[in-house]
Each structure stands twice: as C-alpha cells, then as structure tokens.
Amino acid sequence: MESSAYGASLAGGAFDFRSFIKQPQTIVRLFSWLFSIVVFATILSEGYINKPHEAEVKCIFDNTESACSYGIGIGILAFLACVFFIVLDALFHQISNAKERKYIVLADLVFSANKWSRTDPDGVPADAARAVVAFSFFSTATWALLTVFAFQRYRQGMADIGLGYSDPVSDHTSPYPSDYSGAPKGYQQSPFTPGSAGESGYQPPAY
C-alpha cells in the first residue's frame, strides 16, 4: 500500500504533468487565475470614465476611486496567489516534510476562504461593470471550490498522520540494534593463540 501525506504520495516520484493538469484542484485554480485577470484588466481598461464637462476621471463603481482601486488590488492579489499556489501544487509531491505540507495546505485553506468571503460583485449596470460583476461571481464560485479542496486535503493529512504516517526527515531511528559493536553476532576470538602451541613457543628440532 502506497503511503501518502496530505493527499499526495511521498517524495521521490517523478512529476507527471498530465496527471497534475487534470486534477480538479488545478483546473479550478487555473479558472480562478483567468477570472482574476479579467476582473483587474477590465477595471484598468474600462473602469474609469470621463463625464462631459468634468476634467476629473471617475470610477464607474459609485464614482469613487477607492472602489476601482480595491477591485484592481484584489484582482492582482488573486492572480499572484493563483500563480504561487499552482507552483506549490506542482512541487507538493517533492516535499518530504509533513509539517511543511501542513503549512502549505493551511495557507491555501486560509487564503481561499478569505478570498471567497471578500469577493464583492456589486457594481453599476454598465458593460464593463457587468463583466466585472459576472467574473466576480465566477471567482466566488471557484474560490469556494478551492476552499473545499484545501479543507479536504487538510482532513486527509490529519487522517494520514492518525494512521501512523512518520515523517522520514524527523525519523532518526537506526536500522541497527543498539548493542551493535561492528562485529558479527556470536563472533568469538580464534582459539589459536600463541600460548596454545606450547609455553615456550616454537622449538627447533634437535640434531
């Protein structure tokens, strides 16, 4: 039976790109990455308007600069986070330390839940705003799924540890018995000692 920790096999196996790209978590994270690009790129390109007889450019979301800045900031943060966690997911099976895997899964869980709860799809009924609102809703769904995947992986990791998984990095047990002295078990000194051939040792023949 193959051992695993936090939903991935132990370190040492070769990276399989096809299997990795087909994982549900990877697919959902790629969609989140794409949606974040659409959100902040749309706000940057079409989120500001210049009304007639007004020199100041205003944000289409409630005419406040903070609304657009918030949307751009959240979108860029989500974009960078998706790239970061995709790289970690690709390298996850190469990490042998169970504690490091636990911290990665917890970080994924906390960030995904936070991003899910803070996604704000409110806006005004303009074309650009509709696109931002729509993809914000999509992002909410994908981040919710990522939260579920991260929680499932965390629970699986706790179950693996409960079943007796031992961290190979922290396992300092020796394969040799404690009384190992370097000699084979049952070894005895050779019975042919200098004294056994006679007390005076070698005697020359008499002529």
What domains can be seen in the chain, in order of their start residue? 17-162 (1.20.120)
Asked if residues 23 and 113 have their Cβ atoms less than 8 Å apart, the reply is no
Global confidence as pTM: 0.66
Which of 46-50, 71-75, 110-114, 160-164 bottoms out in mean pLDDT, i.e. has the lowest? Answer: 160-164
- State whether the Cα torsion 58-34-112-117 is positive or negative: positive
Tokens of 4: 């695993």
Rounded average pLDDT over 85-99: 84
The C-alpha angle with vertex 17 and arms to 16 and 19, in degrees rounded to 5, equals 70
What tokens were used for 129?
């705003």
Which residues make Cβ contacts (< 8 Å) with residue 150, sequence separation at least 6?
105, 108, 109, 112
pLDDT at residue 61 is higher than 80:
no
In this prediction, residue 174 has a pLDDT band, given cuts at 50, 70 and 90, of very low
Q: What is the pLDDT of residue 1?
A: 41
For the record, the structure tokens of 151 come out as 């929680």
CA 115 to chain centre: 17
Flag whether pLDDT at 2 surpasses 50.
no
13-57: pLDDT as tens digits: 677 888 889 999 999 999 999 999 998 888 888 877 776 666 677
Neighbour-count burial for 110-148, b at 16+ CB within 10 Å, e otherwise:
ebbbebbeebeeebeeeebbebbbbbbebbbebbbbbbb
Span 63-68, average pLDDT: 72
Average pLDDT, stretch 108-112?
87
pLDDT over threshold 50, residue 125: no
Using alpha carbons, select from 131, 145, 139, 182 the residue that is nearest to residue 23. 145
What's the mean per-residue pLDDT of the chain? 74
Better-predicted residue by pLDDT, 170 or 28: 28
Which residues, at least 6 apart from 60, have a Cβ–Cβ distance to it below 8 Å?
46, 47, 48, 49, 68, 123, 124, 126, 128, 129
> How many C-beta neighbours within 10 Å does residue 16 have?
10
Local structure of residue 204 (DSSP, 8 states): P
71 has a pLDDT exceeding 90: no
Q: Is the pLDDT of residue 86 over 90?
A: yes
pLDDT: is 190 or 108 the higher one?
A: 108
Is the per-residue pLDDT at 178 higher than 50? no
Is residue 206 pLDDT above 50, yes or no? yes
Q: Backbone phi, then psi, for 4, in 5-degree steps?
A: -150, 165
